[in-house]
A = this chain, B = another copy of it.
Amino acid sequence: MNPNRYFDPDPQQRSIARELYDSVAARPLICPHGHVDPRLFADPDYSFGSPVDLLIIPDHYVFRMLYSQGIALEALGVPTSPPTPHGERGETDHRQIWQTFADHFYLFRGTPTGVWFNDELSHIFGIEEKLAGESAQRIYDQITAKLATPEFRPRALFERFNIEVLCTTDAATDPLTHQQAIRASGWTGNLRPTFRPDGVVNLDAPGWRNNLDALSALSGIQVHNYATFIQALENRRAFFKSMGATATDHAALTPYTHELAAREADDIFQRALRGGATAEDATRFTGQMLMEMARMSVEDGLVMQLHPGSLRNHNPIIFEHFGTDKGADIPIETEYTRNLRPLLNKYGNDPRLTLILFTLDESAYSRELATLAGHYPALRLGPPWWFHDSLNGMARYFDQVMETAGLYNTVGFNDDTRAFCSIPARHDVWRRAGANWLAGLVARHFIDMDEAREMIEALTYGLVKQAYKL
In the bound complex, do residue A446 and residue B5 qualify as a contact, i.e. CB atoms below 8 Å apart? yes
Partner of A374, one of B8, B64, B338: B64
For A108, what are the chain B residues with a Cβ–Cβ distance below 8 Å? 406
In the bound complex, do residue B1 and residue A9 qualify as a contact, i.e. CB atoms below 8 Å apart? no
For A403, what are the chain B residues with a Cβ–Cβ distance below 8 Å? 110-112, 387, 390-393
In the bound complex, do residue B351 and residue A337 qualify as a contact, i.e. CB atoms below 8 Å apart? no
In the bound complex, do residue A6 and residue B445 qualify as a contact, i.e. CB atoms below 8 Å apart? yes
In the bound complex, do residue A441 and residue B375 qualify as a contact, i.e. CB atoms below 8 Å apart? no
In the bound complex, do residue A315 and residue B349 qualify as a contact, i.e. CB atoms below 8 Å apart? yes
In the bound complex, do residue A110 and residue B331 qualify as a contact, i.e. CB atoms below 8 Å apart? no
In the bound complex, do residue A337 and residue B332 qualify as a contact, i.e. CB atoms below 8 Å apart? yes
In the bound complex, do residue B441 and residue A110 qualify as a contact, i.e. CB atoms below 8 Å apart? yes
In the bound complex, CA of A373 to CA of B328 (Å):
11
Report A's interface with B, CB cutoff 8 A.
1-2, 4-10, 12-13, 64-65, 67-70, 106-112, 114-115, 311, 314-318, 327-328, 330-333, 335, 337-338, 341, 344-345, 348-349, 351, 360-363, 366-368, 370-377, 379, 387-388, 390-393, 396, 399-400, 402-409, 440-441, 443-447, 451, 454-455
In the bound complex, CA of A342 to CA of B67 (Å):
19
In the bound complex, do residue B311 and residue A338 qualify as a contact, i.e. CB atoms below 8 Å apart? yes
In the bound complex, do residue B446 and residue A115 qualify as a contact, i.e. CB atoms below 8 Å apart? yes
In the bound complex, do residue A6 and residue B345 qualify as a contact, i.e. CB atoms below 8 Å apart? no
Partner of A64, one of B1, B2, B375, B451: B375
Closest 8 CB pairs of A and B: A5-B445, A9-B443, A2-B445, A363-B363, A390-B403, A9-B10, A331-B367, A330-B337
The minimal Cβ–Cβ distance linking A100 to chain B, given in whole angstroms, is: 15
In the bound complex, do residue A409 and residue B332 qualify as a contact, i.e. CB atoms below 8 Å apart? no
Q: A315-B375, A330-B368, A366-B387 are in contact. List 15 more A-B contacts (CB 8 A).
A: A9-B12, A9-B13, A64-B375, A65-B406, A70-B377, A111-B402, A112-B403, A315-B345, A315-B348, A317-B345, A318-B349, A330-B375, A332-B335, A362-B367, A392-B403
In the bound complex, CA of A65 to CA of B377 (Å):
9
In the bound complex, do residue B368 and residue A4 qualify as a contact, i.e. CB atoms below 8 Å apart? no
Given A1-B445, A332-B337, residue A69 in contact with residue B408 (CB < 8 A): yes
Partner of A69, one of B65, B68, B409, B443: B409
Partner of A451, one of B9, B106, B363, B379: B106
Identify the interface centre among A7, A331, A409: most chain B CB within 10 Å of its CB.
Answer: A331
Partner of A67, one of B106, B362, B375, B444: B375
For A366, what are the chain B residues with a Cβ–Cβ distance below 8 Å? 362, 387-388, 393
In the bound complex, CA of A363 to CA of B240 (Å):
39
In the bound complex, do residue B375 and residue A328 qualify as a contact, i.e. CB atoms below 8 Å apart? yes
In the bound complex, do residue B375 and residue A404 qualify as a contact, i.e. CB atoms below 8 Å apart? no
In the bound complex, do residue A338 and residue B328 qualify as a contact, i.e. CB atoms below 8 Å apart? no
What are 27 sample pairs from A and B whose C-beta atoms fall under 8 A apart?
A6-B445, A65-B374, A67-B375, A68-B373, A68-B374, A68-B379, A69-B408, A70-B377, A106-B451, A106-B454, A110-B406, A110-B441, A110-B446, A111-B402, A111-B403, A115-B446, A311-B337, A315-B349, A317-B345, A330-B371, A331-B367, A332-B368, A333-B363, A361-B367, A362-B363, A387-B404, A393-B403
The minimal Cβ–Cβ distance linking A4 to chain B, given in whole angstroms, is: 7
In the bound complex, CA of A376 to CA of B399 (Å):
31
For A2, what are the chain B residues with a Cβ–Cβ distance below 8 Å? 445
For A374, what are the chain B residues with a Cβ–Cβ distance below 8 Å? 64-65, 68, 327
